Chain A
Amino acid sequence: MSKLLKVDIQKKLKEFDLDVNFELRKGCLGILGPSGCGKSMTLKSIAGIVDPDEGIVSFNNGDETIYFDSSKKTNLKPQKRNVGYLFQNYALFPNMTVEENVAVGLSKDDDMTIVSEMIKRFHLNGLEKRYPRQLSGGQQQRVALARILAYSPDVILFDEPFSAMDTYLKEQLRIELVNLLNDFDGLSILVTHDRDEAFQFCDALLVLDEGKIIAKGSTHELFENPKKVQVARLTGCKNISKIEIVDEYHVKALDWGITLEVSEKISSNITHIGIRAHDFTPAQSDEVNSFDTINATKLEMPFEWEITLANGIWWKFEKPIRAHDFEIPQFLKVDPKNIILLED
């Protein structure tokens, strides 16, 4: 059955105005943006925790349910929306056991066997009588997910689920969440400021900045061709420079003091270029787009070298774990194809 979540909301906030508008038909949509850009506010408006000033939020899976419509003064309570919300800190009820937490959304008429099903599905057997504080971070997340799924929501909203975790736990829980999303046949939205999470979970992405959508499209497309400076930065492009156009295929990178050849014809609205830190290779002095590395500094990471050039360019060079010696090549180059043209 086809599903459709429509969101078109405006809300005045202290620092900026939120104005978000999108439709979601399947899978998981990512909302990527720096902190305080209105991502969480968008999710809360969908769940009904926060009221937008104006706009529409509706869900359709055969029948249309209007969650919010300012023109008709409709504002369905969060209790009636059937939207699951995974909070950043999980918001488990500390005074209830695992079992009670999972069952909390069910009413007396509901089939209680779903609680034991969820306990089993999320590998929480044996922990039923424990309280949230007695659980590890991973177990807490599983309880929160079990609690949401026991309630069988139409839409699940994930509010920066991994932001407060150490790297090891994060990697484990990501796998669990990917599996869960593959099984879940409803719609979901994941809000994050982390490009890796957005890339892993979401087929489509919205990039939000100061309450406005600055880019939307398929995840792969946005990462390959971010088009805008902000988007490039959020998708993890380390090197971004203001440019001066020299001719149709050459630009002067003002921040780096070098002139580079590009593979696409430059239009006048291009103001910046971006180069990903992995896209440089050692070169000879006379090759296209090569430049010297005098006064570069190197920093060793477990699996890569991070080299910072005197002009501020970052280069990341992969290495085996056991290699600890590295001579910075005298010259580096970048393939014209790998220079991303950006608009401000």
Chain B
Amino acid sequence: MMDWSPVFISMKTASLSIFITFFVGLIVAWGLIKIKNDSIKIVLDGIFTLPIVLPPTVVGFFLLYIFGVRGPIGSFFLDFFSTKIAFSWSATVIAAVVMSFPLMYRSARGAFEQVDSNLLDAGRTLGMSEWKIFWKILFANALPGIISGGILAFARGLGEFGATAMLAGNIAGQTRTLPMAVYSEVAAGNMGSAFDYVIVIVIISFIAIFIMDFITIRKERQWR
């Protein structure tokens, strides 16, 4: 009988992390394109992009350094909330968010930059508030690009392995996500159950991409 807990843990982690990544990525991308100073822009862009350039274990190392019981944030949570972040379920979310963030942020930024800036200025001269301009013009017209960024980020979060292993470990029933489970089963020589997990992960990924693509294509059809 297959242990379903990695499936549930992965679903929970991937859903919460894409939720966080999606909105934070959007807002950071929006903030960044508004910055006029080029050198500040380049430095910030470098920092936000770093996680996909570095080896995941290196990112995991940094995360462990920050969120570990002796790290600045880790010790703060331990002192004030008596909770350990590292090697808990929340660590899987943090690892997934950090690793998937650059994909979301870069796609959103690229999609925003593709939107004709005259549209935003037209909105302003027509009295639309900046918030309305963001959602109704910038976001709405960048949607296809944003969605594809979302797909990539979701897939990255679902498949996250290296940083998760470093920060969250591989505790069965707690931090063992699907990729972890695949690894553990193979390591234990159980190719059969590893295969089951692989099937599940392929199906989930495919469904996610299908749903998002479907939304994008339908939306685009409407305008053209």
In the complex, chain A residues 61-118 whose Cβ is within 8 Å of any chain B Cβ? 77-85, 87-89, 91, 93-96, 104-105, 107
Whether the pair A105, B127 counts as a contact (CB closer than 8 A) is: yes
B224 within 8 A of A: yes
With A and B bound together, what is the CA distance between A88 and B116 in angstroms? 12
B207 within 8 A of A: no
Whether the pair B121, A78 counts as a contact (CB closer than 8 A) is: yes
* B123, B127, B136 — most chain A CB neighbours (10 Å): B127
Given the known interface contacts A89-B118, A91-B116, the answer about A133 and B127 at a Cβ–Cβ threshold of 8 Å is no
Contacts of B37 in A (CB 8 A): none
| Interface mask (A226-237 → B, CB under 8 Å = 1, otherwise 0) | 000000000000
* A93, A131, A133 — most chain B CB neighbours (10 Å): A93
| Interface mask (B102-137 → A, CB under 8 Å = 1, otherwise 0) | 000000000000001011011111111100000011
Q: List 6 A-B contacts (CB under 8 A).
A: A83-B125, A91-B121, A104-B126, A107-B127, A131-B222, A132-B223
Prevailing SS type, chain A contact patch: loop
B208 within 8 A of A: no
Contacts of A47 in B (CB 8 A): 121, 125
Nearest residue, chain A, Cβ from B122: A91
Beyond A79-B125, A131-B223, 16 additional contacts (C-beta under 8 Å) are A47-B121, A49-B121, A79-B129, A85-B122, A87-B118, A87-B121, A89-B116, A91-B119, A91-B121, A91-B122, A93-B122, A93-B123, A104-B136, A105-B127, A131-B222, A133-B224
Contacts of A94 in B (CB 8 A): 141, 223
With A and B bound together, what is the CA distance between A91 and B143 in angstroms? 18
Question: B126: which of A48, A95, A134, A151 is its contact (CB, 8 Å)?
Answer: A151
Whether the pair A85, B128 counts as a contact (CB closer than 8 A) is: no
Contacts of B141 in A (CB 8 A): 93-95
Prevailing SS type, chain B contact patch: helix
* A positions within 8 Å CB-CB of B: 44, 47-49, 77-85, 87-89, 91, 93-96, 104-105, 107, 131-134, 147-148, 151
With A and B bound together, what is the CA distance between A134 and B128 in angstroms? 24
With A and B bound together, what is the CA distance between A187 and B136 in angstroms? 30
For the complex formed, measure the closest distance between the CB of A132 and the CB atoms of chain B, giving whole angstroms: 8
Whether the pair B125, A93 counts as a contact (CB closer than 8 A) is: no
With A and B bound together, what is the CA distance between A89 and B122 in angstroms? 11
Nearest residue, chain A, Cβ from B141: A95
B27 within 8 A of A: no
| Interface mask (B138-165 → A, CB under 8 Å = 1, otherwise 0) | 0011010000000000000000000000
Whether the pair B223, A85 counts as a contact (CB closer than 8 A) is: no
For the complex formed, measure the closest distance between the CB of B15 and the CB atoms of chain A, giving whole angstroms: 27
Contacts of B123 in A (CB 8 A): 93, 104
Contacts of B129 in A (CB 8 A): 79
Nearest residue, chain B, Cβ from A82: B127
Whether the pair B121, A105 counts as a contact (CB closer than 8 A) is: no
Question: B137: which of A48, A49, A83, A93 is its contact (CB, 8 Å)?
Answer: A93
Whether the pair B121, A133 counts as a contact (CB closer than 8 A) is: no
Given the known interface contacts A131-B222, A133-B223, A133-B224, the answer about A93 and B119 at a Cβ–Cβ threshold of 8 Å is yes
With A and B bound together, what is the CA distance between A239 and B136 in angstroms? 52
With A and B bound together, what is the CA distance between A54 and B124 in angstroms? 22
Nearest residue, chain B, Cβ from A88: B118
Question: B224: which of A83, A85, A89, A131 is its contact (CB, 8 Å)?
Answer: A131
For the complex formed, measure the closest distance between the CB of B124 and the CB atoms of chain A, giving whole angstroms: 4
Whether the pair A95, B116 counts as a contact (CB closer than 8 A) is: no
Contacts of B116 in A (CB 8 A): 89, 91
Whether the pair B127, A95 counts as a contact (CB closer than 8 A) is: no
* B119, B126, B137, B224 — most chain A CB neighbours (10 Å): B126
